[in-house]
A and B are shown apart, each in its own frame.
Chain A
Amino acid sequence: MNEEAELNRGLRFHWRLLQGGEIRGVTTRATGASQRATGLPDLEHQIEFCRQAEKSGISGLLTDIGAAKPDPILLAAGLGLATERVEFIVAYRSGLTLPTTFVQQLNTLSALVNGRVSLNIVAGHSPLEQRYYGDYLAHRERYARTEEFLAICRAFWKNDGPVDFSGNYYRIEGGKLNTPFISPHRSYPELFIAGGSDDARNLAISQGTLWMRLADTPENLKVSVAPVLAAEKEVGLRMSIIARGSREEALHAAYGLLAGLDPSLRDGDKEKRFMLRSDSVSICETYALAEKEWLSPWLWTGAVRTHGAPAVALVGSYEEVAQALIEYARVGVTQFILSGWPKLDEMILFGSEVLPRVRKTVHQPQPLTNP
């Protein structure tokens, strides 16, 4: 097998799950926390979205966690029963549930959906929201706790006897669970560790299977992902996409996104207020990156101020966006969690126009760019 074929086989594309209140043709902001409707599952539209994702070649759907959203494990259980192939990338953070309980819930979910579940571990980004749940730890300590949390989870997933652990945050004695992680392929879920800080990257290396970060240019990424690849872990990117028939149409859609916002949102004040309260390194860094609107001819930060940090977007023709994804693949990225505006419409375009171009291109032998 040549390198390109190998590259292609390993590439997987995920999408953010549709939330309550987001229906076809309707655009919402990335954080959405101010919207009551995001708190309610919308089974009819969400199931339709999941089935479309399956048709569009999307591997997994990111199921958010937060006080503004329904519980992601239960929502994934509900949607998993209405779908066949798509996976649910359950976002979770430590400090909510004890690790034994969490493993029991996740293993139960895996048994109900035949292993179609992976994890996107986040550290939490809002100290105020953490306190809703009784969690008062600062950024750095949250990572230390998450490290212990995942070490215990992995001990349960090894499934080779009672789990004992004594750390700074957790103490477990003789832990046993009779429900294993069930999957045709794995004995534990894929563990995406999300976050832009060194703490997050180190955690991905020590406990994760993949480091999930926000987008930057491939050149900048190359440096930051090197230790992760050296540790034989995967790298994933979370970003948005605006792909259209021509570059001009894509630019029009991108700027139209800002123009279409109601004035109270356009000034970016809400997003700014959220950012100022956040202690997430990646959210703050991406916000700083957005000082420069175009990081490359196709990497646009124009929506970050109004739509949140994951709104760093690939903007261009189908071919340009496909090529950009391949550039990321060449620096070692193997998985993407994508989104667009509106979420469903962009996913359909991605599946029919961009994905076939990616698959076609990387099938053709091409020299890998040298460092």
Chain B
Amino acid sequence: MDLYEIMFIQNPDLGEEDQEKLLTRFKAAVSKNGGEIIKLEDQGIKTLAFKIQKRSRGRYFLIYLEGPGSMVSELERFMRIDENIVRFVIIKLDSHITKEELMPKAAPEEQPTAEDKAEEVGE
């Protein structure tokens, strides 16, 4: 089992429903091939450095996952077939990076600041 980082650009004009569908299909493809998603981050719509398929904007997703090597080619195939995924990159992470490092932090070091408290009081 290795750790991988996947980043893909999705068509920004996709409706919310279709986008959810795409993500569930992606997650299904991961679990079907014996992988596990550690972290999925929606980075929002960004302007591309150049036009791809006549579009100048794209929605970026960053995913960290763990899985066997056979999963990679399957995911690659999946992303190539899906026409709403415009570009993707799969990177195998260095072996000294641990799973825990990638875990979405449950905000342990983030102490509620004065601002946050003020907001809570306001509510």
Tell me if chain B binds chain A: no
